[in-house]
Amino acid sequence: MQKKNIIITGGATGFGKAILDVFLKNDCKIIITSRSQKKIDNLNIDLPKNYKNKVYYFNTKLENENDIDELLEYSQKTFNNKIDCIINNASLSLTGKFKDIPYYEYKKAFNLNFLLISYLIKKILVINNFNNIKVVNILGGSINVGIPYSSSYSLTKLTLKVFTEILKMEDSNLELILFHPGPLNTGIENRKLYGFKLNPIKSLVRKDPHIIANKFYKDLCRGKKIINYSKFQNILLLIYIFFPKMISRLVK
Ligand SMILES: NC(=O)c1ccc[n+]([C@@H]2O[C@H](COP(=O)([O-])OP(=O)(O)OC[C@H]3O[C@@H](n4cnc5c(N)ncnc54)[C@H](OP(=O)(O)O)[C@@H]3O)[C@@H](O)[C@H]2O)c1
């Protein structure tokens, strides 16, 4: 994965920025998207001089199909029709009881975390001049067992997981990678919490996004198609099988 052309959605901050740093060290060119011109400007100021001509910025809300069309057009022009990898990193994380999350936010999360990714993949499959492209779909939350307060986030990611698994069986000419990074230290406190208080002790298990991004890069280069660093998923599944009533107590 050296000297490749990469797109990272939502790559100006958080885990997307950590992935950007790894790809830059490996001589790649990268387009990142952000809704915020300020975030883009700050990223550009902070970038070391030798990386400045390797990063391209696309300011978009990633709100509808037209935004995806424009992103792909811009990327094809910028990279002379050669896009090697798209990392679907942008994501809306809502935590709280279903009854407390406004319905419009719920829809927004499904739109960003699943529907627009499916639209992007459909365009790649239909346009057909995206040769040998890798598409990385990032999972999160609990994708094996339903846990309280995650009806939006985990459900959107579970939908994305099952969708990716189905496409892998249907379209062998598309290289799809499922990636669960596990809990990360990317400022979850900035996300939208509805009547839910974070337990500070649990933030201790969150990993450094740079360490995880480096590990991810190596596994991607090794050709892994399922990259899962979330041990929590298997532990939850075991607890669910043997002590189903414990699940809600663990999450609180
Ligand atoms: N943090 C974790 O513990 C964790 C654990 C497992 C998986 N993940 C996954 O890893 C990826 C990155 O995680 P992160 O912690 O860096 O996530 P994040 O900060 O919550 O979100 C990533 C980016 O998504 C974009 N975004 C957020 N809401 C949006 C909206 N409504 N419309 C359009 N774009 C929006 C933002 O980019 P702009 O503001 O620049 O537009 C943001 O920087 C996500 O897919 C997440 O699900 C994270």
Closest CA to ligand 1's atom 9: 140
- Domain ranges in the chain? 5-251
Q: What stretches of 97-245 show up as alpha helix (H) in DSSP?
A: 103-110, 116-127, 153-170, 209-221, 231-242
* Type of residue at 190: N
pTM of the predicted model as reported, rounded to 2 decimal places: 0.95
Q: How many residues in total does the chain contain?
A: 252
Closest CA to ligand 1's atom 13: 15
Q: According to the model, what pLDDT value does residue 146 have?
A: 87
pLDDT by 10s per residue, the chain, length 252? 899 999 999 999 999 999 999 999 999 999 999 999 999 999 999 999 999 999 999 999 999 999 999 999 999 999 999 999 999 999 999 989 999 999 999 999 999 999 999 999 999 988 766 778 999 999 998 888 888 888 899 999 999 999 999 999 998 778 999 999 999 999 765 577 887 777 666 677 889 999 999 999 999 999 999 999 998 888 888 888 888 888 877 766
DSSP per-residue letters across 130-170: -TT-EEEEE--S-SSS--TT-TTHHHHHHHHHHHHHHHHHH
CATH superfamily of 5-251: NAD(P)-binding Rossmann-like Domain (3.40.50.720)
Q: What residue ranges line ligand 1, CB within 6 angstroms?
A: 10, 12-16, 34-36, 39, 62, 89-93, 108, 112, 138, 140, 181, 183-184, 186, 188, 191
Q: According to the model, what pLDDT value does residue 252 have?
A: 60
